[in-house]
């Protein structure tokens, strides 16, 4: 089972991908266009030109996972349009985006924060 955690690095492809592509071709896109080794455990996320579907590619140490979500009604409501937006996204924001939400409009707390405690 694939689980995306706050420790995962997310890498979004701003440009649409050819969804006829399988694991090998998407891994080549990661190497050539995104300049990242797909064997690092980074989660690569791409969408098609119409934004009616999203693909996630990740290597878990024993093999590649290729997951696709096709939206049953409409298209993806939000997608990063700049490299800065794509770099700043966190795993919880990816989940929000995949559920047709806008992660920039969600008020999500930081993944990790120091808890203050008082000693008795």
Predicted TM-score of the model (pTM):
0.82
| pLDDT > 70? residue 118 | no
53: helix, coil or strand? strand
Q: Quote the Cα angle for 72-27-45, to 5°.
A: 40
Written as six digits, the tokens of 61 are 């140490």
Confidence class of residue 119 from pLDDT cuts 50, 70 and 90?
Answer: low
Closest among 45, 58, 59, 57 to 16, alpha carbons compared = 45
Give the tens place of pLDDT for each residue, 5-49: 888 889 998 889 999 989 999 999 999 988 899 999 999 999 999
pLDDT at 88: 77
Give the tens place of pLDDT for each residue, 63-99: 999 999 999 888 898 888 888 877 778 888 898 889 8
What lies within 8 Å, CB to CB, of 51 at 6+ separation is 16, 75, 76, 79
């Amino acid at each position: 089972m694939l689980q995306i955690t706050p420790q995962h690095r997310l890498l979004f492809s701003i440009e649409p991908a050819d969804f006829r592509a399988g694991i090998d071709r998407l891994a080549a896109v990661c190497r050539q266009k995104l300049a990242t080794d797909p064997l690092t455990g980074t989660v690569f996320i791409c969408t098609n030109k119409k934004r009616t579907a999203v693909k996630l590619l990740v290597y878990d140490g024993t093999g590649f996972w290729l997951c696709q979500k096709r939206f049953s009604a409409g298209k993806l409501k939000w997608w990063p349009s700049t490299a800065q937006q794509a770099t700043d996204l966190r795993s919880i924001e990816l989940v929000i985006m995949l559920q047709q939400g806008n992660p920039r409009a969600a008020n999500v707390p930081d993944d990790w924060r120091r808890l203050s405690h008082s000693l008795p």
